[in-house]
């Protein structure tokens, strides 16, 4: 295990994992998915996490988002100028913290099928209470405009394509204007042209100051990250920064 520091950083890292271990116990025995991973992410990075299926990429992401809990170790995320120990938060605090701090994007989009696109984007604002209802609708429409879906704002998710649904998921991830976007195989279900468009969108978001962590098994995307790390069998094996 060789935790490598990120390129030149004077500020404390935005995200820091210290000796993160995750072990699953089942009837078949125990299985360690993360074996003491340490990692830091600076604000403004576009970090790619690469690895084969079952390597521990999604588990790593789940530890950062607080979706799953560490067996041992620490996850610390700088939030509004203070360090939050994610692994110490309870489910309710986690939900609120996640809603305000992180935008999460999945391979399968995970839009609520009974809500229109604009309502899907408004949902995090409604739940976290950062925006008033009228304000949140306006903001949701602006976000949909940003992902070029304003014309479809009042459609249900089933009436748009997969690529469009993923763009809505990105808009939803940005709803509460979180500093960090976490994406788990966001282009995995999309054709290459659509995937490229989505990636362009991510790059534009990084340019606006967002920090993006993205899990993928597509090695072709490596050059487009500001930094990437490979994970295999629950351990970081390589970590490289692009110029």
Partner 1 sequence: MRPRWRKVLSDLVDNIARTILVVSSIAVGVLAVGVIAGAYVIISNDMSAGYAASHPANIEIRMDDFDDDFLNAIQNFEGIANAEGRRVFGMRVRSVGGTQWTMLNIVAVQDFEEIEINQLTAIGETGALGKNEVIVDRDVLDKVDAQVGDVLEFQLSDGTIKRLQLVGTVRDPATNMDDFLAPPAAYITMSTLPALHQPENYNRVYAIVDSGQDDDTHIRAVATALKDKIEKSGHAVHSTWRSKTHEHPLAATVNAILGILMALGVLIVFLSSSLIANTLSALLNQHLRHIGVMKLVGARDRQIFGMYLALILSFSALALLIAVPLGGQGAYALARYTADEMSFSLQGYRIVPIALVIQIAIGLLVPLVAGFVPIINGSRVTVLKAISGNLVQGTGDQAEGGAKRESRLERLQLRFTQMLNRRGIQIPRPLLISLRNTFRRRGRLALTLFTLTMGGAIFISVFNVRVTLHDYINAIGNYFLADVTLDFDRPYRLNEVKQYAAQVPGVVTVEGWAFANAEILYPDGSTADNMSILAPPAESELVSPILVAGRWLHPDDKKKLAVSDAILDLFPDLRVGDNLTLRINRQDEAWQVVGIFKFVGSQRLLAYAPYEYISLDQNLANRAYSYYIVTERHDRPYQEMMAEKVDAFFRDNGFHLREAKPGLSTLDAAVESLDILVAFLLIMALLTATVGSMGLAGTMSMNVLERTREIGIMRAIGAVDREVMRMVIAEGMLIGLISWVLGALLSIPFTYLLATIVSLAVFSTPIEVIFTPTGFIIWMVLVVILSVLASALPARNAARLTIREVLAYE
Least distance CB 133 / partner 1 (angstroms): 6
Residue number, 89 or 241, with CB nearest to partner 1: 89
Instruction: Out of 19, 74, 126, 196, point to the residue binding partner 1 (CB under 8 A).
Output: 126
Least distance CB 141 / partner 1 (angstroms): 14
DSSP string, the chain: ----PPSS--SPPSEEEEEEEEEEEETTEEEEEEEEEEEEE-TT-EEEEE--TTSSHHHHHHHHHTSS--SEEEEEEEETTEEEEGGG--HHHHHHHHHHHEEEE-TT----TTS-HHHHHHHHHHHHT-S-HHHHHHHHHHHHHHTT-GGGTTS-GGGS-HHHHHHHHHHHHTTT--SEEEEESTTTTS-HHHHHHHHHHHHHHHHTT-EEEEEE--GGGGGGSSEEEEEETTEEEEEEE--
Instruction: Out of 4, 95, 222, 237, point to the residue binding partner 1 (CB under 8 A).
Output: 95
Residue number, 27 or 243, with CB nearest to partner 1: 27
| Window 152-171: residues binding partner 1 (CB under 8 A) | none
| Window 10-49: residues binding partner 1 (CB under 8 A) | 24-28, 31
Who's near 74: CB < 8 A, 6+ residues apart? 16, 17, 18, 19, 20, 85, 87
Residue number, 40 or 107, with CB nearest to partner 1: 107
Q: Does 133 bind partner 1 (CB under 8 A)?
A: yes
Choices 12-20, 40-48, 90-98, 187-195 (CB under 8 A): range interacting with partner 1 = 90-98
Choices 59-67, 72-80, 141-149, 187-195 (CB under 8 A): range interacting with partner 1 = 59-67
Instruction: Out of 117, 123, 215, 231, point to the residue binding partner 1 (CB under 8 A).
Output: 123
Residues that bind partner 1 (CB under 8 A): 24-28, 31, 62, 65, 67-68, 91-92, 95-96, 98-100, 104, 106, 110-115, 119-120, 122-124, 126-128, 133, 172, 175-176
């Amino acid at each position: 295990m060789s935790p490598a520091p990120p390129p030149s950083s004077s500020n404390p890292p935005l995200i820091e994992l210290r000796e993160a271990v995750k072990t699953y116990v089942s009837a078949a025995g125990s299985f360690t998915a993360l074996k003491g991973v340490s990692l830091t992410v600076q604000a403004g990075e576009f970090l790619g996490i690469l690895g084969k299926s079952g390597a521990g990429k999604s588990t790593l992401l789940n530890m950062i988002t607080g979706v799953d809990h560490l067996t041992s170790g620490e996850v610390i995320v700088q939030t509004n100028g203070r360090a939050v120990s994610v692994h110490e938060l309870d489910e309710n605090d986690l939900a609120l913290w996640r809603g305000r701090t992180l935008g999460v994007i999945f391979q399968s989009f995970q839009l609520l099928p009974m809500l229109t696109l604009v309502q899907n984007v408004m949902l995090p604002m409604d739940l976290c209470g950062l925006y008033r209802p009228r304000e949140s609708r306006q903001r949701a429409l602006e976000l949909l405009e940003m992902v070029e879906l304003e014309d479809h704002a009042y459609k249900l998710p089933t009436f748009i394509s997969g690529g469009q649904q993923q763009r809505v998921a990105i808009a939803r991830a940005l709803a509460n204007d979180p500093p960090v976007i976490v994406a788990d195989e966001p282009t995995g279900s999309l054709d290459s042209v659509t995937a490229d468009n989505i990636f362009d969108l991510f790059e534009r978001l990084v340019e606006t100051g967002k920090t993006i962590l993205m899990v993928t098994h597509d090695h072709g995307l490596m050059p487009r990250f500001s930094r990437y790390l490979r994970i295999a069998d629950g351990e970081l094996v390589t970590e490289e920064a692009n110029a």
